[in-house]
């Protein structure tokens, strides 16, 4: 009787667990682990308004999350113009009054934009900083020198 009860439990529980595991593994089946914060388009300079959608998203994400974006390198070669991380591709400096001085570099650089949008996507999916850094290095380090 005990074996029959165990077999019945296993026959009932295992399929339920399998369905849950598959459902959680499917892309888009679960809500993002984190909300993606974006600065409003009204806060963007004019040249961002005329940029393609991916660049607009990257500028808005970098502006709303400068501390996060500054933790990732850029591999487009912008190290030669003094950039020290991916944030510098979007933001030159922040004035003492909080005014952001934007950098136009990323509006015309697909590598910067790809890196930032990958950071946004992975961060939204719940990835940790180290895992995102590993992904960025593995995906982009062949493109050029790191900041």
- pLDDT digit string, tens, across residues 77-96: 999 999 999 999 999 999 99
Please tell me whether residue 101 adopts helix, strand or coil conformation.
strand
pLDDT (0 to 100) of residue 57? 98
Its pTM stands at: 0.78
Cα–Cα distance for residue pair 114/105, rounded to 1 Å: 13
Cα–Cα distance for residue pair 136/140, rounded to 1 Å: 6
pLDDT (0 to 100) of residue 1? 54
Across the chain, what does the average pLDDT equal? 86
- pLDDT digit string, tens, across residues 127-136: 999 999 999 9
pLDDT (0 to 100) of residue 67? 97
Q: How far apart, in Å, are the Cα atoms of 15 and each of 7, 9, 94, 122? A: 13, 10, 55, 30
Beta-bridged to residue 91, according to DSSP, are 102
Span between the terminal Cα atoms of the chain, in Å: 67
Please tell me whether residue 91 adopts helix, strand or coil conformation.
strand
Unique residue bearing structure tokens 């290095």: 137
Sign of CA dihedral 93, 94, 99, 102: positive
pLDDT (0 to 100) of residue 62? 98
pLDDT over threshold 80, residue 49? yes
């Amino acid at each position: 009787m005990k074996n029959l009860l165990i077999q019945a439990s296993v026959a009932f529980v295992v399929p339920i667990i399998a369905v849950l595991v598959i459902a959680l593994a499917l892309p888009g089946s679960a809500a993002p682990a984190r909300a993606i914060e974006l600065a409003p388009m009204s806060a963007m300079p004019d040249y961002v308004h005329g940029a393609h959608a991916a660049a607009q998203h990257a500028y808005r994400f970098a502006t709303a999350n400068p501390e996060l974006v500054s933790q990732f390198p850029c591999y487009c070669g912008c190290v030669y113009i003094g950039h020290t991380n991916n944030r510098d591709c979007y933001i030159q400096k922040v004035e003492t009054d909080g005014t952001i001085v934007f950098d136009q570099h990323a509006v015309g650089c697909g590598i910067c934009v790809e890196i930032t949008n990958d950071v946004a996507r992975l961060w939204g999916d719940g990835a940790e900083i180290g895992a995102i850094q590993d992904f960025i290095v593995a995906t982009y380090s062949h493109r050029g020198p790191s900041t």
